[in-house]
Structure 1
């Protein structure tokens, strides 16, 4: 992680947290280059010298927000890995829980998500890291016998990231779908496909 500003006690931590929250809103709404430190401190009711107690520059606070997003996404990806011995009948629900957690994080932190997933220069790297983490999970789960052995999990992982990225913008952020409903629909699509089961007709 990039180096962060020094702690200044409880009051200082509140000021620092407020700067991060407002900076996330400014960057998400205006982009990196149009966001000014002066605008951040004005909205936070703080001074520019106070800003520089915690962050060396606009770039430093932006990078910290990117790191916050990257770390939380990595944590959620690791937590979503299926452990051995799961009843196959409960597999869809268990997969949905992990995917829902990612969408819920995005929904609860839309500004941070816009920065880390779409605005930052590192956004493509972050998505590649997400795909890599998902692939590692899938290969492990494949070895546990949950999925067909001949499936290329790299393709599955990259497809999932593309779907997550697009649906976050067009459904989640538009509040057209909840995190849980998006996760359930994606899981149903990947596990059961689109072809009608004639036996169920």
Structure 2
């Protein structure tokens, strides 16, 4: 391949990535219906024909953003599953690490998170699927003696999603808590409860 061909390919990849970044910003700020392709290409310094080289429609670029968010979030959730034989002394640290990964992903991809985790139509189905994945993790962990088998894991998974959803908006995005701080406090609460420690 010639140098010119490589340069052209790299430029095309950069243009596509730029369109995705700006589209995420626009969707996050204005919502799906108020976002216009003309605004996306103007902010990218590109033309509408260039947009259509990479995406068939506004719906197509939106779907790609949502799919990217879902894939990355589900991968992080799957990776956070505790394996049998985990050291009980490092349990809270291990769980915090997995949760920190999710909060870090959210803060590093704020616009993508806003449209993927909070967009009314898309987030409902995503959170439903996420609850199933978290429940599967919890059931696996309970079966391997890490958590109580008597717990209603559907309830626990919904609680976890509710906590993540709320604290992302009230503590993470405003910069009140770091991903590490949030994760540590959530894990301490869920593992140790709210009762005073016995002396």
Cα distance between partner residues in 1 of 2:66 and 2:120: 7
Structure 1, gaps ≥5 residues long: 1-7
| Structure 1 residue 85: Cα displacement | 0.7
Q: Is the 8 A contact 1:26 1:40 kept in 2?
A: yes
**Which residue of 1 is the match for residue 3 of structure 2?**
none
Structure 2, gaps ≥5 residues long: 1-7
CA distances 1:53-88 after superposition (whole Å, capped 9, x unpaired): 000111110111000000001100000001111111
CA distances 1:142-188 after superposition (whole Å, capped 9, x unpaired): 01101112111111111000010000111111111100111111101
Cα distance between partner residues in 1 of 2:55 and 2:39: 15
Q: Does 1:185 align with 2:188?
A: no
Map 1:20-169 to 2 at 5 A.
20-119=20-119, 121-169=121-169
TM-score computed with the length of structure 2 as normaliser: 0.94
CA distances 1:12-32 after superposition (whole Å, capped 9, x unpaired): 111000000000001101111
Q: Secondary structure at the match of 1:122?
A: helix
| Structure 1 residue 122: Cα displacement | 1.8
Cα distance between partner residues in 1 of 2:158 and 2:121: 19
| Structure 1 residue 40: Cα displacement | 0.3
How much is the aligned-residue C-alpha RMSD, in angstroms?
1.0
Q: Write out the 4+ residue segments of structure 1 that deviate beyond 6 Å after TM superposition.
A: none
Q: Secondary structure at the match of 1:86?
A: coil
Q: 1:120 to 1:14 in 2, by over 3 A?
A: farther
Q: Secondary structure at the match of 2:121?
A: coil
Q: Is the 8 A contact 1:66 1:120 kept in 2?
A: no
TM-score computed with the length of structure 1 as normaliser: 0.93
Q: Is the 8 A contact 1:103 1:179 kept in 2?
A: yes
Aligned residues: 192
